[in-house]
């Protein structure tokens, strides 16, 4: 009898734990496949994140460079023991991911942004993403973008005015926070249709919430235990995180509600005074375009609209850092700056205050090459990660389903096969004759394939407007050498200590 009970008990245990053991076996096999790739030492629970945790934020990017040289062009990392990341450093590997319609799902790291961005274009996938992409693409038509060029120029002029105040004593100025706040002003007006005046009111709660949320998201990325909601809620970041998130969501909800009410009252047009209490103008913002489309097809919920508006707001980081790197590189190369100045004179003549319209911005061919070369050396988003939806063979290795692949854009842009002397700053790399025959995936600052950046034309127009206006008004000189600039790879690739420029007013 005792033997029978023992067998029954053993059988019950076996049946109970069988799924668990199967899962462990499957996970072990998965890890074995991943570990065939080269990569740094992995530790229990922490994976390969230990060096990143123990080093200061400003030294983490150097680890990426070190690992790339040591293990690249394809190697593995472990973010914790169960989250592998396969890093790809050449366009040959990246092309297979970019051009695929199967591997469009973003990695688990983007989940850290979902409390703010919801299921917007950056974080969503599947049919939800396809539908939103289809609905949003017309909002970036050139006829729509043309209407935003006056917004770009208005704020570019405000930047010039601010710089005149700050450089009156001839001392260098850190351009990074100035451009960051101005870019936030631009995106608030173009995306939501209200003025935040971040350039003048840097203590604005919304401004602080944007930067606070972004910083905390990166802490969760580098510290595996903080990705577990239970431990995160017990951490010192939790209260600050909730406060920032509430500020971001409440502002967007309030603006959408106000916008819808104004449209109902004025029969889809703002009438009476030029601006309402939010500083909303008669000019249509992306929010208006979303509401227009939704009134026609009813395919977007209020939550969908809020997610997409928040996604536009999040993208401000990429544009602002792109402008800063451009000004820095222009300030290092006097010959390049002189060519830009000559192009500005050819377009605007002696009228230094003539607004840069859509037509003038499209005439800035040399400046566009300069901006592209800056994006090659300092891509705003230095890597993009995707989740594999099926097994794939790359470089003689099997990348299994559910693994995360990180496309290392910073290193892809430095492939000597396509960019001779890759650290040299040379805008002529983007002359048509020099681009002929180059792999189309060798330069991907806005990603590529079906999931490329929908707002890349918007970003380039904004960068052209701001940079050209500053060059028309100032001679720029960068203070630090490139080797002295420390890079921080977080949500964007930014300088640790900002960018200090000496500006001399043009006469």
Predicted local confidence at residue 243, as pLDDT: 93
d(CA 334, CA 476): 8
- Give first-to-last CA distance, the chain, whole Å: 104
Least confident of 51-60, 68-77, 179-188: 51-60
Least confident of 221-225, 263-267, 456-460: 263-267
Residue 27 pLDDT exceeds 80: no
Q: Which residues of 307-325 are buried (b: 16+ CB within 10 A; e: fewer)?
A: bbbbbbbbbbbbbbbbbbb
Q: What is the pLDDT of residues 379-432, one digit of tens each?
A: 999 999 898 889 999 999 999 998 999 999 999 999 999 999 999 999 999 999
For strands 500-505 and 173-174, give the pairing. Answer: antiparallel
For strands 84-88 and 404-408, give the pairing. Answer: parallel
d(CA 146, CA 387): 36
Predicted local confidence at residue 283, as pLDDT: 67
Query: Contact at 8 Å (CB) between 204 and 480?
Result: no
Q: What is the pLDDT of residues 366-379, one digit of tens each?
A: 999 999 999 999 99
Query: Contact at 8 Å (CB) between 452 and 446?
Result: yes
Residue 455 pLDDT exceeds 70: yes
Query: Contact at 8 Å (CB) between 278 and 258?
Result: yes
Phi, psi torsion values for 392, nearest 5 degrees: -145, 145
d(CA 503, CA 481): 16
Residue 21 pLDDT exceeds 70: no
Predicted local confidence at residue 274, as pLDDT: 44
Give the percent of the chain with pLDDT over 90: 46
Torsion angle of alpha carbons 130, 133, 136, 137, nearest 10°? Answer: -120
Task: Write out the two tokens for 88.
Answer: 């790809």
Provide the CB-side half-sphere exposure for 215 (13 A, CA): 12
Predicted local confidence at residue 259, as pLDDT: 82
d(CA 98, CA 160): 39
Q: What is the pLDDT of residues 135-175, one digit of tens each?
A: 888 888 777 888 899 999 999 999 999 999 998 888 999 99
Residue that has been written with the tokens 């608030």 in this structure: 188
Nearest to 355 by CA among 140, 148, 184: 148
Is 149 annotated to bind ligand? Answer: no
In terms of average pLDDT, the best of 44-58, 107-121, 367-381 is: 367-381
Average pLDDT over residues 90-112: 84
- The mean of the pLDDT values for the chain is 87
d(CA 428, CA 372): 10
d(CA 121, CA 453): 9
Give the percent of the chain with pLDDT over 70: 92
Average pLDDT over residues 344-370: 93
Residue that has been written with the tokens 């690249």 in this structure: 72
- Mapping DSSP onto H, E and C, the string for 393-427 reads EECCEEECCCCEEEEEHHHHCCCCCCCCCCCCCCH
For 88, the 3-state DSSP assignment is strand
Query: Contact at 8 Å (CB) between 47 and 81?
Result: yes
For 503, the 3-state DSSP assignment is strand
Average pLDDT over residues 208-234: 83
Predicted local confidence at residue 273, as pLDDT: 45
Least confident of 2-16, 152-166, 242-256: 2-16
Predicted local confidence at residue 7, as pLDDT: 67
* Cα 392 to the center of its chain, rounded Å: 27
Q: Which domains does the chain have, with CATH numbers?
A: 38-490 (1.10.630.10)
Predicted TM-score (pTM) of the model is 0.89
Element (DSSP H or E) covering residue 493? strand 493-495
Predicted local confidence at residue 224, as pLDDT: 78
Please provide the DSSP assignment of 23-55 as one string: HHHHHHHHHHHHTTS--S--BTTTBT-HHHHHS
Local confidence band at 351 (pLDDT 50, 70, 90 cut-offs): confident
Query: Where would I find the beta strands (DSSP E) of 275-413?
Result: 383-387, 392-394, 397-399, 404-408
Predicted local confidence at residue 290, as pLDDT: 84
Query: Contact at 8 Å (CB) between 50 and 82?
Result: no
Q: Which residues of 368-398 are buried (b: 16+ CB within 10 A; e: fewer)?
A: bbbbbbbbbbbbbbbbbbbbbeeebebeebe
Q: Which residues of 1-10 are buried (b: 16+ CB within 10 A; e: fewer)?
A: eeeeeeeeee
Q: Taking each helix axis from N to C terminus, what angle separates 316-332 and 365-377, rounded to the nearest 10 degrees?
A: 100
Nearest to 172 by CA among 506, 499, 505, 507: 499
Q: What is the pLDDT of residues 267-277, one digit of tens each?
A: 545 444 445 44
């Amino acid at each position: 009898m005792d033997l029978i009970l023992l067998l029954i008990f053993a059988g019950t245990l076996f049946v109970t734990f069988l799924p668990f053991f199967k899962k462990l076996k499957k996970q072990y096999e998965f890890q074995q496949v991943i570990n065939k790739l080269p990569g740094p030492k992995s530790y229990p629970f922490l994976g390969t994140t230990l060096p990143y945790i123990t080093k200061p934020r400003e030294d983490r990017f150097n680890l990426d460079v070190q690992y790339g040289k040591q293990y690249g062009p394809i190697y593995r990392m472990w973010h914790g023991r169960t989250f592998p990341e396969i890093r790809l450093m050449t366009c040959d590997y990246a092309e297979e991911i970019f051009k695929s319609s199967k591997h469009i799902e973003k990695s688990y790291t983007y989940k850290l942004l979902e409390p703010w961005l919801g299921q917007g274009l950056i974080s969503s996938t599947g049919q939800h993403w396809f539908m939103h992409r289809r609905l949003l693409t017309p909002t970036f038509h050139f006829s729509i973008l043309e209407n935003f060029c006056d917004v770009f120029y208005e704020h570019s002029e405000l930047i010039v005015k601010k710089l005149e105040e700050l450089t009156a004593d001839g001392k260098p100025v850190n351009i990074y926070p100035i451009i960051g706040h101005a870019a936030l002003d631009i995106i608030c007006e173009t995306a939501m249709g209200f003025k935040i005046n971040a350039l003048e009111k840097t203590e604005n709660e919304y401004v602080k919430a944007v930067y606070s949320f972004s910083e905390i998201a990166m802490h969760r990325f580098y510290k595996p235990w903080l990705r577990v909601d239970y431990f995160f809620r017990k951490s010192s970041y939790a209260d600050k995180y909730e406060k920032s998130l509430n500020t971001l969501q409440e502002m967007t909800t309030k603006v959408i509600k106000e916008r819808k009410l104004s449209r109902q009252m004025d029969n889809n047009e703002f009438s009476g005074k030029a601006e309402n209490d939010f500083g909303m103008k008669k000019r249509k913002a992306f929010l208006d375009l979303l509401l227009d489309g939704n009134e026609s097809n009813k395919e977007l919920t209020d939550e969908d609209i809020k997610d997409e508006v928040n996604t536009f707001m999040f993208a401000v980081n990429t544009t602002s850092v792109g402008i800063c790197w451009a000004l820095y590189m222009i300030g290092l190369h006097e010959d390049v700056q002189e060519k830009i100045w000559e192009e500005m004179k050819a377009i605007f003549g002696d009228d230094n205050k003539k607004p840069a319209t859509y037509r003038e911005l499209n005439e800035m061919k040399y400046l566009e090459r300069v901006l592209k070369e800056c994006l090659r050396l300092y891509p705003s988003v230095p890597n993009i990660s995707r989740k594999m939806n099926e097994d794939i063979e790359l470089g003689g290795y099997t990348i299994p389903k559910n693994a995360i692949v990180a496309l290392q854009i910073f290193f892809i842009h430095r492939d000597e096969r396509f960019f001779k002397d890759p650290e040299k700053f040379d805008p002529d790399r983007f002359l048509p004759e020099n681009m002929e025959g180059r792999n189309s995936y060798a330069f991907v600052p806005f990603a590529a394939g079906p999931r490329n950046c929908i707002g890349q034309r918007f970003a380039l127009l904004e960068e052209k407007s701001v940079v050209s206006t500053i060059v028309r008004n100032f001679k720029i000189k960068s203070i630090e050498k490139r080797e002295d600039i420390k890079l921080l790879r977080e949500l964007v690739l930014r300088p640790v200590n900002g960018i200090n420029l000496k500006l001399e007013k043009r006469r």
